[in-house]
A and B are shown apart, each in its own frame.
Chain A
Amino acid sequence: MKRLLASLRSFRFTEGGVSRQRIALLVLAFAAVHLVIAGRLVLIGMKSDPQVARRVTNPDMLTSTRPDILDREGKQLATDIQSAMLYAEPKKGVGYVDDAVDQLRTVFPDLDERELREKLSSKKGFVRLRREITAEQQHEVRKLGIPHVGFLQESKRVYPAANEASHVLGGVNVDSAGIAGIEKWIDSGGLADLHLAGFATGRSLSPVQLALDLDVQHAMRDELLKAQGEYQAKSMSGMVLDVRTGEILSMVSLPDYDPNKPGNPADLSRLNRLTTGVYEMGSTFKALTVAMALDSGKATLASRFDATAPLHYGRFTITDFHAQRRVLTVPEVFTYSSNIGAAKIALAVGVDGHKAFLKKMGQLDRLRTELPESAMPLVPKSWGEINTATISFGHGLAVAPLQAVMATAALVNGGLLIPPTFLKRSQAEAEKIAKRVIKPETSDKMRYLLRLNVEKGTAKRAEVEGYYVGGKTGTSEKVVHGRYSHEKLLTVFTGVFPCDAPQYLVLVMIDEPKNRGHSTAGLNAAPTTGQIIARIGPLLGVEPRHDLPPADQLLTVSQRVAN
């Protein structure tokens, strides 16, 4: 080391050949570097494509391309159309502004003269003059020969079905970025590749296929609009769920909006009541209560509960709407929709058991789907007997309707809780993520009770010949200024068909029906559901049958004996 350092200190220029040889090395090095650069240039030249998509030069010009959205049958729900946009670059000069204005107005007489003049005489680098111009107009403008006026292909999001599926699709803003619904989900990395491909050309994006069936959606919306007129309701919503897969075939929330038109996001029509609203679901919750009791073994179909007198909890009194004032069996509690009976059934299971069951059924947590909009259920902070008593018939716990639908589907599909989805899903995929929440036998009994309720109970008007409908009504009083209102009601109907082997669940929710004669669910939501089922049954390929047994025969002899 010392010797080395010394050699450095006593360094002397070496005369002669050394530096010459080393310069030769340098020559070689430079030659190599230059060859690499030349090689790179030649490589680029060989694969260069002068048609490389023109990268837009101004952020104002960016409109990315989005994938198509299709319904389950492949019908288009959303697509991009390419249209030309006329722009000018006033900073570079467009010649005489007056001439340019006059000339442009010969092609577009409807362009505002003052505004156009202002735009062209500004010093901006880029101004948009008019969107969506035709090929002929382009040709005309070209013939005018105005400098620095040009066209840019831009894509515009179009929803051919307009209002039909507005809440599911959501919408995009002027820059084609998703702002709500599935559109927002597409952007939010649900499909990261799609996001990356924002600059790519449209056709290379594979479309997103939804579970939604546009025909069913249309039938649902049509029937709901009719019913809304009939009952003069403030709002209506409805959905169809495939109970075997958790696919959402239809979801309508009225009022709705046209996603093609920009609107105010705070507008009430933008609210998807089924996912973003939370409601006390009323008596439809009794199905959960009864299923819980049957599944836990705390009650059988033959168990009897005393409903002779109202229940008192402090200042609260629980009464029955269709009061029978006698001891009722479990099926009777269900079909007469007895609040007292339901409360007693729930109390038989106990507060903790009730809470645990609802938790298991996903009623106490926020349900997340592909739609970015979701709501947290309103769960009582302290949960005592009074809460269990009221929640048993659907008061005191507010959930998103989609959440209640998921639980009800589990009651009839054999006992599997399947997270609902807006995307297509096969039965095998559904079974993989399904969670067993009740026994198959309990599910059989629930089918029987739901069918019985249509044959003999509050849901008679939901019956559709040949579709073997089962269902549960629910009427709840809305909370207005902190107390339950007798005037403002929410009526709900959960219908299932065909009830011997359920395939589809239909939910109809009517907010504040004003037609006094038809204020309870059995008189408005149930018949509306019946009409919807009559229309969508054929669309869904469910064949009407005419040799259907009465509800009692849904249970096997052994089950009836055991009960």
Chain B
Amino acid sequence: MIQVAQLFKQFDKTEVLKDIHMTFEDGKTYAIIGSSGSGKSTFLRCLNGLEKPTSGSIVIDGVDIVKNEKELPKLRQHIGMVFQSFNLFEHKNATDNVTFALMKVKKISEDEAKKIALAKLKEVGCDHRATHFPHQLSGGEKQRVAIARALAMEPSVMLFDEPTSALDPEMTVEVLKVMKQLTHTGMTIIVVTHEMNFAKEVSDTVIYMDKGEIVEIGSPKEFFEETRTARARQFLANML
């Protein structure tokens, strides 16, 4: 469980996150939506400490990561992250991208790590690209390898930061398909996305953010069909 309370984040003088309260329950899928600059990516990045909050608390399985920065490297092993720009290690092929953290962080032997890597690559449908380097992969393949890399660590939480924003529609479909499979595995999944259909069909809870605040939280049905706030209605109107 991830409990966020009174979370504030400032960059210089701009307030990016203002008094965020949110509880993420285990095994659920959350979609965070909102226009650019709403603070949704910053919020997500706070959840694994890539962004340091100005104040507030983020309690993950009983540990406040704002106060206990030393716990972060350990905690991050349980929190997978997938980025908009894939961020694959460019000098390593797909398999080695996956095995790297397994060997260096989990201290798993090379043979064992390779087995895990191949299994995970198969899971995301990229096993035929196992020896390819990132620059030889399509965008969708890169993102799927990045997902395999995160999954190999067997995290209990997966964070997706606009995973399909850099992809064309066809590739978006492949990646969303893989993500959809993950929702049935018991992992907590938190996705920052512009894909309204994904939010609508796959998530358990939709979080709408605007100007650094959580404006509305609800089930997809509630949010898309019975939108309560004017700001969210405006946002949805602009999306369609």
Say whether A and B bind each other.
no
List residues of B whose CB falls within 8 A of some A CB.
none
